[in-house]
Amino acid sequence: MVLIKMRGIILYFSKYVSTKKYVDWLSKSTNFDVVPVKKAKKSHIKDYDVIILGSGIYASGIKGVKFLRKHAKLLSDKKVLIFCVGASPFDEKAFQTLKDHNLKDDLKHIPCFYLRGAWNMDKMTFIDRTLCKLLFKMLAKKEKDKLEVWEKALLAAGNRVVDWTNERYLAPITKYLANLNQ
């Protein structure tokens, strides 16, 4: 368990369970309260010292960032961090692009962490599954040596069910939280 002297909350959005697994592990180790982003209120920022946003990555977006942006002025005296979950292996260039796209202006100073999730097309919505199949077709036409890391990972996963979630991926986050006490 991470000893945190401050009161914390984890706001999250989890469409396909991976983010929720990380939220459960993190809340167990920190005793932070947990609230889905869809139910988050202004008071969830005002009443806590540490605010964590956890979300999957959906079409280059991090769900919940809009909520933080809406209440950015309330975050100035808070310790805030974001973790996002994706199926691809970590790639610095892709992660930086994701952060630049999502964490602008008042939010660009917020630390952001990447955790690897899972892949299961059978659990996807019809729309997500259809979009992935179209993406597979597009990527199959690309030269193998021109593929980005995430594109190679997507093609390798294919129709397989793969779960890369692992509690050890939370280590940089728990270390960051432990340093907040100092």
- List pLDDT tens digits, range 135-177: 778 878 888 888 777 777 777 777 777 788 899 999 999 999 9
Q: What pTM was computed for the model?
A: 0.83
| Token output for 64 | 């919940």
Beta carbons of 63 and 56 less than 8 angstroms apart: yes
Of the candidates 10, 53, 55, the residue with the CA atom closest to the CA atom of residue 31: 10
Of the candidates 84, 72, 78, 77, the residue with the CA atom closest to the CA atom of residue 108: 72
Could you tell me the CA-to-CA distances from 111 to 84, 122, 153 in Å, in that order? 11, 33, 25
SS3 content of the chain, % helix, strand, coil (to 5): 50, 20, 30
Q: What span, in angstroms and rounded, lies between the C-alpha atoms of 41 and 37?
A: 8
- List pLDDT tens digits, range 14-65: 877 789 999 999 999 898 999 999 998 888 888 899 999 999 887 777 888 8
